[in-house]
């Protein structure tokens, strides 16, 4: 199943807010939902999916394996628990959420377990998240680039991750951009604001349209139905060459997500 280019992210959404956000997203036409074990909301996402009335085959669902479950004997049991919470028989995509802290579990071990999970029918596709170029190389050595459906990374106008993006293109690995609106910082950006005014669009729509034009999948999140609807409409916004170049020029290497266990960034 093809991964829709705009998905509804669920990072930081808890309880009823998570249920309502996913329910609204599905009602508005989103067909890609992104969650993770560490978000603590897989059960709520599963409830919203079950109650939506949208046929299972129409929704692309992603979860991510937390670092505590990356060992070869732990990954599949943890994925089965995620499936139980999500009320699903199979994920569409399962990712290693972060590389193992201090390299405690080799990349090859986790990727082999993911591939085994796919072979068991627990997930349709596998991939990675927050992987640097050296780590992606290890993943490629373990399972082959063709078996890596995406590398999900922080990517927005202020952190364009160009070396990672170039490497991914070279090896045919799509990138998924998380934090695409830079925690909302882009909404006040004057360059993006001027483009939005000319295009009769919102700053969020302009930013998402830029990411889509650059070939990335995006997973913005919101608790507000009107913002979910507006973000989805970015699919129809076509930016000009000058617009794209102006946003390209905003890159300043501003990383917003870098926990103490993060890898050495490219």
Give the residue numbers marked as catalytic.
39
* 249/185 Cα distance (integer angstroms): 16
Could you tell me how many residues make up the chain?
Answer: 266
Contacting residues for 198 by C-beta, under 8 A, at least 6 apart: none
* 207/182 Cα distance (integer angstroms): 10
Q: How does DSSP classify residue 102?
A: G
- CA distances, 102 to each of 105, 132, 136, 184, 263 (Å): 8, 14, 16, 31, 8
67 within 8 A of 40, measured Cβ to Cβ: no
Whether 2 has a binding-site annotation, put simply, is no
192 within 8 A of 243, measured Cβ to Cβ: no
* 31/146 Cα distance (integer angstroms): 24
Binding residues for substrate, by number, are 97
């Amino acid at each position: 199943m093809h991964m829709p280019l705009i998905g509804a992210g669920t990072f930081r959404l808890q309880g009823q807010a998570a249920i309502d956000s996913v329910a609204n997203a599905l009602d508005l036409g989103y067909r890609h939902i992104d969650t993770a074990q560490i978000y603590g909301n897989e059960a709520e996402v599963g409830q919203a999916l079950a109650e939506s009335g949208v046929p299972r085959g129409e929704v692309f669902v992603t979860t991510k394996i937390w670092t505590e479950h990356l060992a070869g004997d732990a990954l599949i049991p943890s994925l089965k628990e995620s499936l139980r919470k999500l009320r699903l028989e199979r994920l569409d995509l399962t990712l290693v959420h972060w590389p193992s802290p201090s390299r405690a579990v080799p990349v090859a071990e986790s990727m082999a377990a993911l591939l085994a999970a796919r072979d068991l029918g627990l997930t349709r596709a596998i991939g990675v998240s927050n992987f640097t170029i050296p780590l992606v190389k290890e993943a490629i050595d373990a399972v082959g680039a063709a078996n890596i459906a995406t590398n999900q990374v922080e990517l927005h106008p202020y952190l364009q991750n160009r070396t990672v993006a170039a490497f991914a293109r070279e090896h045919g690995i799509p990138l998924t951009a998380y934090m695409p609106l830079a925690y909302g910082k882009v909404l006040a950006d004057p360059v993006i604001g001027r483009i939005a005014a000319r295009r009769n669009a919102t700053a969020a729509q302009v930013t998402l349209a830029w990411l889509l034009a650059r070939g990335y999948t995006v997973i913005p999140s919101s608790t507000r139905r009107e913002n979910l609807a507006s973000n989805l409409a970015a699919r129809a916004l076509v930016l000009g060459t000058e617009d794209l170049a102006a946003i390209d020029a905003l890159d300043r290497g501003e990383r917003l997500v870098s926990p103490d266990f993060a890898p050495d960034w490219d």
